[in-house]
Amino acid sequence: MDDLYDKKIKCPVCDMQFSSKRVRRSKLRIEKRDSDLFTYYKGENPVKYGVYVCPMCGYAATEEKYSKVNDEERSVIREKVTTKWKEREFSGVRSVDESIICYKLALYCGEVLSFKKLYLGNICLRLAWLFRIKNDDDNEKKFLDFALKLFDEAYMQESIAGSSLDEITLTYLLAELNRRLGNRDKAISWFSQVVSHPMIDTKPNIKKLAREQWNLVRQR
Ligand SMILES: [Zn+2]
C-alpha cells in the first residue's frame, strides 16, 4: 500500500488535526475509462479518497471544498451534523463501503450547507461509480439518476465558472447519463449540443466520446 500517503488536514469547523490517505500521483496508472468518465487504475483508485471526514465533528467534503467554510456554515455543521455524530475515523485504507459512507456524509453536509447543485451532482456521480465497483446496479442507477437531476438543475440555474467541471464536459455528462438511464431522446438532443458547441475542438477527447455515444444511442 505504498501507493498511499497520509495528508494532514485541519478541520475548519472544530480545528481538530487529522490525516486522510491520498494516492501518490506518481503511482497512478490508468487502466481504462468508462463512457461517463469513471477512470480505473491499476492499484488504488483515487476516487475512494476524494472526501475528507473530520473524526471529531463529522464535517465531510471533497478535497477542493474542505477548507472553505464560513462562520455561518460552521454553526450549521455544528447544529445539524455534530449533534448527531458519533466519533468515527476514516483515516486509514478505505474499503469501497467506507468510501461510500464518506461520500454520503459529504452529500449530507453539502445539502445542509446548500452547496451548489453541480457540487452535489459530482458527489452523486462518484457514489454511482463506487457502487459500480461493487456491481451494485440498483444503487448505481439510483445515484446516476440523482446526479443527472442535479446536473440538469446546475446547467439551467447555476454559473459553472470556476468549478471543476467545464460546460462541455457537463453537457456531455447530461447526454451520457440520460443515455445510461434509457432516456433516448434527451440523450440524442444533449449529444447534438455537445458536438455543435462552439468550443468543442478544445476538448478532443469529449468530442470523440460524444460522437461514439451519439452513434450508439441512435442505432437503438
Ligand atoms: Zn471537525
Residue-wise pLDDT for 170-190, tens only, equals 999 999 999 999 999 999 999
Please give the class, per CATH, of domain 4-162.
mainly alpha
In angstroms, what CA-CA distances link 177 with 76, 83, 147, 169, 208? 32, 36, 8, 12, 17
CA distance 60 to 110: 8
Q: How far is the CA of 9 from the centre of ligand 1 (A)?
A: 10
Phi, psi values for residue 195, rounded to 5° = -70, -20
Q: How far is the CA of 15 from the centre of ligand 1 (A)?
A: 6
Which residues make up the CATH 1.25.40 domain(s) of the chain? 4-162
Q: How far is the CA of 128 from the centre of ligand 1 (A)?
A: 26
82-109: pLDDT as tens digits? 999 999 999 999 999 999 999 999 999 9
Q: How far is the CA of 60 from the centre of ligand 1 (A)?
A: 9
What is the percent of the chain with per-residue pLDDT over 90, rounded to a whole number?
91
Q: How far is the CA of 7 from the centre of ligand 1 (A)?
A: 15
Q: How far is the CA of 55 from the centre of ligand 1 (A)?
A: 7
CA distance 100 to 129: 10
Greater pLDDT, 2 or 126: 126
Burial of 28 from C-beta contacts in 10 A (0-12 / 13-18 / 19+): middle
Q: How far is the CA of 107 from the centre of ligand 1 (A)?
A: 16
Report pLDDT for 1: 54
26-85: pLDDT as tens digits? 889 999 999 999 999 999 999 999 999 999 999 999 999 999 899 999 999 999 999 999
Q: How far is the CA of 78 from the centre of ligand 1 (A)?
A: 9
CA distance 155 to 212: 23
The residue whose grid cell reads 446547467 is 155
pLDDT tier, 161 (very low <50, low <70, confident <90, very high otherwise): confident
Q: How far is the CA of 77 from the centre of ligand 1 (A)?
A: 9
Q: Which residues have CB less than 5 Å away from ligand 1 (the ion)? A: 11, 13-14, 16, 54, 56-57, 59
Report pLDDT for 2: 80
CA distance 157 to 138: 29
Q: Three-state SS for 7?
A: strand
